[in-house]
Amino acid sequence: DTGVSQDPRHKITKRGQNVTFRCDPISEHNRLYWYRQTLGQGPEFLTYFQNEAQLEKSRLLSDRFSAERPKGSFSTLEIQRTEQGDSAMYLCASSSPGLFLNEQFFGPGTRLTVL
Amino acid sequence: QQQVKQSPQSLIVQKGGISIINCAYENTAFDYFPWYQQFPGKGPALLIAIRPDVSEKKEGRFTISFNKSAKQFSLHIMDSQPGDSATYFCAASISGSARQLTFGSGTQLTVLP
């Protein structure tokens, strides 16, 4: 399967714990996005990488959140001191500037539950 | 501030009928308008997309109609099938930037057999 993959698919944690999610984009895609989706809502943009550079961050990305994309390949999203309000589906998407109309391809997401 | 408003929130259609979902946007800088389909437990999948230099785009049973002056666009699903039952999201983005997608709130479509 050459699509976007995310790991883990589900994560249950206690409030105050740190969690880290991983995203592996489609191999030739140099653009990578993180979104957050809460129940009954559309995905909301969190942050964007072009290769290894983090070029844009949403105001939703508080200082408890950090994202990296070393070497421009996979990306990680870490949430420190989790809060119940962090419970959501975290989606990763990738894209290539060569694609017509900047199509973004989404992974299956990581569902986070904070108890 | 919600920049893309989507309606209806839910839609029930008989098999073979036409499903219509509407979206309106505020930011006139948006120049790319995709529709995504999402099944439970899955990530969104791109269905069809349009740029504002055309008023309509058709791919199979799916058609986007775009009205630039009204800042509105809609998805029409012809001959709706039970397998089309999913949540549909409209979205918009701006070229030349990070091109992050701004999504609508979604429409849960149920197609009855």
Question: What is the mean pLDDT of each successive set of 10 residues along chain B, which is 113 residues long?
Answer: 87 97 94 94 92 92 95 97 97 84 96 96
Per DSSP, what are the bridge partners of residue B11?
B109
| CB pairs < 8 Å spanning A and B | 64
CB B87, CB B19: distance < 8 Å: no
Among A40, A41, A45, beta carbon nearest to B101: A45
Question: Average pLDDT, stretch A67-81?
Answer: 95
Peptide bond into B113 cis (omega under 30): no
Query: What is the 8-class DSSP label of residue B84?
Result: G
Q: In Å, how far is B31's CA from the nearest CA of chain A?
A: 9
Q: Which residue of A has its CA nearest to B50?
A: A101
Per-residue pLDDT of B76-108, as tens digits, reads: 999 999 999 999 999 999 887 778 999 999 999
Among B51, B95, B98, beta carbon nearest to A55: B98
Among B44, B46, B98, beta carbon nearest to A56: B98
